[in-house]
Structure 1
Amino acid sequence: MGQISLSAVTKSFGDVNVIPPLDLQINDGEFVVFVGPSGCGKSTLLRLIAGLEDISSGKILIDGKDATDAAPAERGLAMVFQSYALYPHMSVRKNIAFPLKMAKLSQAEQDRKVENAARILNLSNYLDRRPGQLSGGQRQRVAIGRAIVREPAAFLFDEPLSNLDAALRVTMRQEISELHQTLKTTMVYVTHDQVEAMTMADKIVVLNAGRIEQVGSPLELYRSPRNLFVAGFIGSPKMNFITGAEAKKHNCDTLGVRPEHVEVQADGPWTGVVGLAEHLGSDTFLKVNVPGVGDLTVRVSGEMNLHHGDQVTLGPQSGKLYRFDANGMAL
């Protein structure tokens, strides 16, 4: 079991209220990602769940039991940090076994659990090495292995991939997703990278200034953002926002259209000049200045041969415009 319920949870540091009253339900076996810009409260919220910070008010239930005042070790959760926090003088085997040794499990039980975790994480051939002899990705897997052997009700990940290079982040992203499918255990994952959120999550929690802006599946947030903040945060490159006369034509204060939903059209409504063309092979990203509309980011086929200074006529795909009111809420 790994059900986590937050009811009217708040957190203040002195006079500064960083988490206003917040309610959230995390279901057993879900992969939930907290995402938002730096300073939005996502890591603080994770630490409140872990018990590493005391909540100011409210209640936290883990598997139906009140864990509000429980010590971190009593919550049945395992946390994986941004820093690997491995013991450099110990072998991989001893690093993974450390929490089991502290729990005074028999050597036979320690060996069984360590070897099982190593098999799941493809670390069996590295158990006698020290952390200094491993790559960054392997060290992160050791840190995850140390969490696995505890057999927690839920795993808590605090930006675990931010120290890795881009290619390794992609690999580890896939490995953690596969680990979730193997273990079927609840995972709560913090990241500022919305690509990680979109590719890994069953459910995304978008946070802004400590408040939950929207909760939903990746596609729900992509297709139906409830406000300007979510619309601009989910999706890469970010949504284009158009104000002024062009928005008024559509009876709204702000008009939104994603770069992938803008097409080159012979008789489209927007004609502009390409300022920047980024050719990435499969895709080309254009920044097009359209008089009366502004700069539009456009995603087109990599085969489209457009360059700086070219004139181009654009239009939105049918049914792919988003409208927002004066308060930034979706219409």
Structure 2
Amino acid sequence: MGTVELDGVGKSFGEVEVLRDIRLDIAEGEFCVLVGPSGCGKSTLLRLIAGLEEVSAGRIRIAGRDVTALESYDRGLSMVFQSYALYPHMSVRENIAFALETARLPRAEVARKVAEAARMLRLEPLLDRRPSDLSGGQRQRVAIGRSIVREPAAFLFDEPLSNLDASLRAETRIELAALHRKLGTTMIYVTHDQVEAMTLADRIVVLNAGRIEQVGPPADLYERPATEFVATFLGAPSMNLVRGAAAEAEGAETLGIRPEHLRADPSGPWTGTVAHVEYLGVDTIGYVDVGEIGRLALRLPGRAPMVPGETLTLGYDPGTLHRFRAGLRIG
């Protein structure tokens, strides 16, 4: 079993409380992504699960077993770091096999497990190379292979793609998703990148200032954010927030509307001046300054006819509005 249960987990460093009352149940085989801004506590939470930090409050259970007081190596987990942490003097084969040989497994079993991991991760042609001869993406696959052979109850990933360029990140995301489908093993993944969170997760856990803001499938969090923070954290450009009379007219303190739900509409309620235009190929992002409402972003398909300085009137379908009061969703 690869279930992970966090029961009121907290962590303080001296007088500084970085995590408070974290309650979360991660199901066996789930791909759970912890996401949030820098300093929100997501990496600290992963290190608590891994046993690399001691909890200040609460309990951690893995596969139903209380591991709160256990050392990291006794928890049956495997962690992949941002820095790869490969042994530079060892070949790919030796790096993958190292933990198995340290555990004194039979040589034939070590060879079998290394071969299986190499096949799964397309590392077979690279087994006799050293890390210095590999690309960043290949090094990350070796680090993952070293974890796979240990057959852990769960994999822990700490921003594993942050050192890769954009194209490699996209390629490795696909590989990780495919690997999860093949293995069916629980994966807990930390990132600040909302694209990684949205594309990889079965469930996303959004953290903010040491607390959980919302937990749920990516579509639920995007379409029905529980708080203003979640609404603006997920999505690029982020959700437009409108306050003042326009929000009060809708019975809210704050109105939220996604850029893709705004449109150029001569009969719309908001008129402003186009401040900036970004053509992205598949769509165009326009930023429109609308008086007291502020700057609104809208996303239009293809090459939309917008130019800086022009006057544009914006409309929307009332059903696309999100309503908030005191930072919390009310409709």
Code of the aligned partner of 1:177: A
Structure 2 distance, partners of 1:301, 1:19, is 41
Deviations along 1:24-60, one digit per CA (max 9) or x if unpaired, are 1000000000000000000000000000001112111
Tell me the residue number matched to 2:4. 4
Q: Which whole-Å CA distance do the structure 2 matches of 1:106 and 1:328 have between them?
A: 58
Provide the secondary structure at the position in 2 that maps to 1:70.
coil
**1-structure distance, mates of 2:106, 2:58:** 39
Following superposition, the deviation at residue 318 of structure 1 comes to 3.7
CA distance in 2, matches of 1:317, 1:111: 60
- Distance in 1 of aligned mates of 2:167 and 2:46: 26
Offset at 1:228? 0.7
Residue in 2 that maps onto 1:234: 234
SS at match of 1:292: helix
5 Å-filtered alignment, 1:276-295, equals: 276-295=276-295
Q: Deviations over 1:248-274 (max 9, x none)?
A: 111211111010111111311111111
- CA shift, 1:191, in A, is 0.3
Residue number in structure 1 paired with 2:220: 220
Q: State the AA in 1 paired with 2:144.
A: I
**Residues 279 and 303 of structure 2 are in contact (CA less than 8 Å); yes or no, is this contact kept in structure 1?**
no
Aligned partners of 1:64, 1:275: CA distance in 2, in Å? 55
Cα separation, 1, equivalents of 2:40 and 2:298:
29
Which residue is 2:191 aligned to? 191
Identity of aligned residues (%): 60
TM-score, length-normalised on structure 2? Answer: 0.98
Assess if the C-alpha contact under 8 Å between 1:257 and 1:321 holds in 2. yes
Supply the AA of the counterpart residue of 1:29: G
Q: CA deviation at 1:16?
A: 1.2
List 4+ stretches of structure 1 deviating above 4 A: none
Q: After superposition, give the CA deviation of every residue in 1:57-78 in whole Å (9 maximum; x if it has no partner).
A: 2111111111111111111100
Aligned residue in 1 for 2:328: 329
Judge conservation of contact 1:31–1:203 (CA < 8 Å) in 2: yes
Q: Is the 8 A contact 1:246 1:292 kept in 2?
A: no
Are 1:19 and 2:19 matched, yes or no?
Answer: yes
Shift in Å, 1:102: 0.8
Deviation at 1:89? 1.1
Q: How many angstroms apart in 1 are the aligned matches of 2:288 and 2:111?
A: 60
**Cα distance, 1:303 vs structure 2:** 2.6
- Paired residue for 1:162? 162
Q: Which amino acid aligns with 1:329?
A: L
- The question of whether the paired residues in 1 share the 8 Å contact of 2:100 and 2:150 is answered with yes
RMSD: 0.9
In the alignment, is residue 104 of structure 1 matched against residue 104 of structure 2?
A: yes
Cα contact 1:6–1:61 (8 A) shared by 2: yes
Question: Does structure 1 retain, via aligned residues, the 8 Å contact 2:77–2:155?
Answer: yes
1:206 aligns with: 206
Deviates more, 1:113-122 or 1:246-255: 246-255
List per-residue Cα deviations over 1:60-103 (Å, max 9, x = no partner).
Answer: 11111111111111111000000011111111000000110111
Q: Is the 8 A contact 1:263 1:317 kept in 2?
A: no
Counterpart of 2:254 in structure 1 is: 254
Structure 2 stretches of 5 or more lacking a match?
Answer: none
Q: Distance in 1 between matches of 2:168 and 2:99?
A: 27
Q: Structure 1 regions of 5+ residues with no counterpart?
A: none
Tell me how many residue pairs correspond in the alignment: 330
SS in 2 for 1:205: strand
TM-score, scaled relative to structure 1: 0.98
